[in-house]
Amino acid sequence: MKLAAILSALLAALFLGSLLTGWAAATPAAALRALIADDGTPLSVVMQDIRLPRAILAAMVGASLGLAGAALQGYLRNPLAEPGLIGVSGSAALGAVIAIQTGLSLAFPLALPLAALAGAVAAVLLILMLAGPRGGSITLILAGIAISALAGALTSLVLNLSPNPFAAADIVFWMMGSLADRSFLHVWLALPFMAFGWVLLAATGRGLDALTLGEDAARAMGIDLSRLRLMLVLGTASAVGAATAVAGAIGFVGLVVPHLLRPFVGARPSRLLWASALGGAAMVLAADIAVRQVLPERDLKLGVLMALVGAPLFLHLIYKTRREMA
Amino acid sequence: MRTSRFISLLAALALAGAAAAGTPQRVVSVNLCTDQLALMLAAPGQLISVSRLAHDADSSALVDQARALPTNGSRAEEVYLLAPDLVLAGTFTDPATVAMLRDLGIRVELFEPARSLADVPANLDRMGRLLGRGAQAAEMIAAFERDLAALTVDLEPRPRAALYYVNSYTAGDRSLAGDILRVAGFDNVAAETGLDWGGVLPLEQLVMLAPDVIIEGRDYPGQARAEDNLTHPALAALTHTRKAGSLTDRDWICGTPQVLHAIGAMRDLRLSLEPAR
């Protein structure tokens, strides 16, 4: 419970920090007053229509990625499983890009998260099929590389075929992710899908705990493994798909956060789930504050920052598991 | 059939060689802006091909005249096979293409993108001399300066306007678009932020500047996430700012007399703001 309190306090502080970070120079007091004032001044518009949705979205996206990472790692019993690395985010981005480029998302806004979800489902199923129930590191990483590469190539192809001269520049967004100038439209679009995913993933906790003892033991404890698998697939795809549809593919959150928090939860997957959701939200909020502090005029992509933190950790994890992989 | 085409090509090449010293007879333009200058000034038959964009009604101001001519894809190979004695290009044309054509012995003239309204008469004059149409160019320059003077708005106060393009780009005072705004009686808010050529104007900064008018860049065909900034709800929430719709891109990008259409539209916008003030 102490961990929950610490993470919640951190999350609240970073949420506030995110609200107070940005171009417009205003004292924190004035900014927070403008957040609730209904006066239509430029500062209120900035606070209510630009910064608030951005902070909310950062927390939602981070929670989704952290939770999905923890759940995948628990199910595959492999600390290298992460939505970005195994190609789920990339496939979700492909789905989103197809929805946008076909004009489907214009005619029917929900097509955007739905298509991202479809892409994510396909990737998760493919990964589980290729990596097997035990999720060996080599097959997992190789399958992830293949799916990521294919999804990335197809995303680039679709965007290069677009008649819009700016579509090709969007490749960076879809591969690296950004929360710049997102609005409440995106919050409302993603929230139902994310919430559905959170509920499903949170419900996998007992099953994941049992699974740490092995599949036979889990079955003996009355865990329906195929049902657990279905909840994991749908939950991950729904949460990660919605996050990617509005913010692009942000990697490494689901890798770094569970890794950092695992020692504090006694390595119990069920506790790691909620802790990673809170931690992921905090991490993406922190990264989104950083991108605005480092290069305020450029839309520095979140994925760049996350990769700078996450890739060395990923290498470290591979180094640690190299005996298993040899 | 094929042989005859080859022979006519050879003949054209020979002819091109003969005319190289005097007025060019086979002019090929590979840049949207030189397309338009040449379309206005070339003698009948002198211009033989325009760039592909010239046929795109959203980008090209002289699309009807341009459609009478075949297009080229601005690559060295196809341009060379047209046997031109003068190629008109922009300074942003791929340098490899320009170098290749020059190596092949073809005269290539480069035009800089216009950065102010003063570039319009300069461009007309240069194109007139290149094409041997100096008299026509002088007439057009006189007409342009007369019309420009007639359209210039000199009213106080000057409303603060923002040009807001895809990907949050804006144009500053030292740009053609900025000059168009100035002549039409607006102050450009980009100047308040220190952007004189132009650059990224973050949405948050645009909202804080709270300009009197926001003029948006055009909507390109197809979809791109990069265009989302133009429809962000924060722009609609700015109650004291007039959203003046999107500009007609084709009249804004080239230093040709077509900018008078853009100035005319901005002048109408400026005058429409008058009674309310």
User: Which range marks the domain in which residue A98 is found?
Assistant: 62-325
Contact at CB, A24 and B207, closer than 8 angstroms? yes
H helices of B60-133, in order, are 63-66, 76-81, 95-103, 119-131
Q: Is the pLDDT of residue B11 over 60?
A: no
Query: Which has more pLDDT, A168 or B96?
Result: B96
**DSSP of A58-94, one letter per residue?**
HHHHHHHHHHHHHHHHHHHT-TT--TTTTTHHHHHHH
Chain A interface includes B194 (CB < 8 A)? no
Q: How far is CA B142 from CA B122, B126, B147, B247, B265, in A?
A: 12, 15, 9, 26, 21
Query: What's the CATH code of the domain at B38?
Result: 3.40.50.1980
Q: Give yes or no: residues B109 and B32 share one domain.
A: yes
- Mind giving me the DSSP string for A183-236? -HHHHHHHHHHHHHHHHHHHTTHHHHHHHTT-HHHHHHTT--HHHHHHHHHHHH
B160 at interface of A, judged by CB pairs closer than 8 A: no
B210 interaction partners in chain A (CB closer than 8 Å):
42
Domain for residue B138, yes or no? no
Per-residue pLDDT at A33: 92
Which has the closest alpha carbon to A24: A292, A203, A279, A233? Answer: A292
B64 close to A (CB below 8 A)? no
In-domain check, residue B233 = yes
In this prediction, residues A268-285 reach a mean pLDDT of 96
Model confidence at A133, pLDDT cuts 50, 70, 90, reads low
Residue B277: per-residue pLDDT: 45
Alpha-carbon gap: A272 to the closest alpha carbon of chain B (Å): 35
pLDDT band at B4 (very low <50, low <70, confident <90, very high): low
pLDDT, tens digit (0-9, with 9 covering 90-100), for B227-243: 888 889 999 888 888 98
- Distance, in angstroms, between A105 CA and closest chain B CA? 10
CATH number of the domain enclosing A186 = 1.10.3470.10
The reply to whether residue A24 touches residue B229, judged by beta carbons under 8 angstroms, is no
Structure-block tokens of residue B228: 């989302």
Coil/strand/helix, residue B14: helix
Average pLDDT for chain A = 91
Q: Show which of residues 168-197 on chain A sit within 8 Å of chain B, judged by CB atoms.
A: 169-170, 173-174, 181, 183-185
Neighbouring C-beta atoms of residue A260, cutoff 10 Å: 14
A159 to chain B: nearest residue by CA?
Answer: B224
Q: Is residue B160 part of a domain?
A: yes
Q: Is residue B221 part of a domain?
A: yes
The residue among A19, A101, A164, A179 with the most chain B CBs within 10 A of its CB, best to mutate, is A164
CB B238 to CB A45 under 8 A?
yes
Q: Identify whether A290 is part of a domain.
A: yes
Segment B21-32 mean pLDDT: 90
Higher pLDDT, A1 or A57: A57
Distances (CA, A) of B277 to A155, B157, B212: 50, 9, 11
pLDDT at B14: 47
Interface probe for A, chosen from B32, B165, B207, B218 (most Cβ of A below 10 Å), is B207
B102 and B199 in a common domain:
no
- Nearest beta carbon to residue A100 from set B223, B233, B239: B223
CB B41 within 8 A of CB B95: no
Evaluate whether residue B133 is within a structural domain. no
Provide the Cα torsion A140, A141, A142, A146; round to 10°.
Answer: 100
Give B161's strand partners.
Answer: B188, B213
Q: What's the confidence (pLDDT) of residue A324?
A: 65
Determine the 3-state secondary structure of B210 from DSSP.
Answer: coil
Query: Greater confidence, A299 or B11?
Result: A299
Domain co-membership, B245 together with B189: yes
A216 to chain B, any CB pair closer than 8 A? The answer is no
Domain boundary among B113, B147, B176: B113
Per DSSP bridges, beta strands B198-200 and B242-246 are unpaired
CB contact under 8 A, B224 and A169: yes
- pLDDT for B9: 53
Instruction: Look at residue B5 in the predicted model and tell me its pLDDT.
Output: 59
Closest chain A C-alpha to B221 CA, distance in angstroms: 5
> What's residue A24's pLDDT?
81
Same domain as B107, residue B160 = no
Co-location of B33 and B107 in the same domain: yes
Q: How many domains does chain B have?
A: 2
Whether pLDDT at A208 is above 70: yes
B210 contacts chain A (CB < 8 A): yes
Cβ distance B222 to A167 less than 8 Å, yes or no, reads yes
Provide the token pair at A289: 């504050």
What sections of chain A are H helices per DSSP? Answer: 2-19, 28-36, 42-45, 52-76, 88-101, 104-107, 111-131, 137-161, 170-176, 184-202, 205-211, 215-220, 225-247, 253-261, 269-294, 302-320, 322-325
* Nearest in space to B171 (alpha carbons), one of B262, B93, B88, B233: B262
Kindly report, residue by residue over A178-187, the tens digit of the pLDDT: 999 899 999 9
* DSSP string over B219-274: PPSS--GGGGGGG-HHHHH-TTSEEEEE--GGGTSSSSTTHHHHHHHHHHHHHHTT
Decide if pLDDT at B1 tops 50. Answer: no
Q: Assess whether pLDDT exceeds 60 at residue B122.
A: yes
Closest CB to B232 among A40, A42, A183: A183
Q: Judge: B225–A106 Cβ closer than 8 Å, yes or no.
A: no
**Residue A43 domain flag:** no
List CB contacts (< 8 A) between A49 and chain B. Answer: 207, 232-234, 237
- A-B contacts at Cβ under 8 angstroms: 94
Residues of A within 8 A of B205 (CB-CB) are: 23-24
Residues of chain B with C-beta less than 8 angstroms from the C-beta of A296: 202
In a domain, B277, yes or no: no
- Supply the range of the domain harboring residue B63: 2-113
A54: nearest CA in chain B? B204
Across the range B113-135, mean pLDDT stands at 96
Contact check, Cβ <8 Å, A170/B234: no
pLDDT tens digit sequence for A214-259: 889 999 999 998 899 899 999 999 999 999 999 999 999 999 999 9
Longest dimension (CA), chain A: 64
Residue A87 phi/psi, 5-degree rounding, is: 90, 5
Check whether residue B88 and residue B190 sit in a common domain: no
Our CA-based measurement puts residue A101 at a distance from the nearest CA of chain B, in whole angstroms, of 6
Say if the Cβ atoms of A181 and B233 lie within 8 Å. Answer: no
Interface ipTM:
0.82
**Residue A38 domain flag:** no
Burial class (CB in 10 A: 0-12, 13-18, 19+), B105: exposed
Pull the structure tokens for residue B143.
Answer: 């007409």
Whether B229 sits inside 8 A of A181 (CB atoms) is yes
Measured between beta carbons, the chain B residues lying within 8 angstroms of A298 are 200
What is the total count of domains within chain A? 1
CA distance, residue A164 to nearest chain B CA (Å): 5
Chain A, nearest residue to B239 by Cα: A40
Residue among B240, B258, B263, B213 at smallest CA distance from B61: B258
